[in-house]
Amino acid sequence: MNYPVFIFHELVFRFAEVNKKIGRYLSNSIQDNECLIRTSAGQIKISLGLLEKQYLNPKSISQEEVLSLADGFELDYQTA
């Protein structure tokens, strides 16, 4: 499925609310049921299931899920 770009921006915004180091959305790629979102400071991997939730019903993503995923952010020391 081709996801609208606003979904990725919304997710990055939500993650950045709990982890200020995340930066701004740059790009994404999808492979093997996973999405890699690149930001100005690094990258974060999320499941396609979470993308579907953000697209269909963003309120169904709990704050605990957002916190957990934001903690999984990988800082790119070359861009940060």
Query: What pLDDT, in 10s, does the model give residues 47-64?
Result: 999 999 999 999 999 999
Give the pLDDT confidence score for residue 18 in this predicted structure.
93
Instruction: Give me 69's structure tokens.
Output: 């995923």
Low-confidence spans in the chain with pLDDT less than 70: 77-80
Residues 59, 29: Cα–Cα separation, whole Å? 24
Give the pLDDT confidence score for residue 77 in this predicted structure.
59
Domain boundaries, the chain: 5-75
What is the 3-state secondary structure of 10-51?
A: HHHHHHHHHCHHHCCEEEEEEECCEEEEEECCEEEEEEHHHH
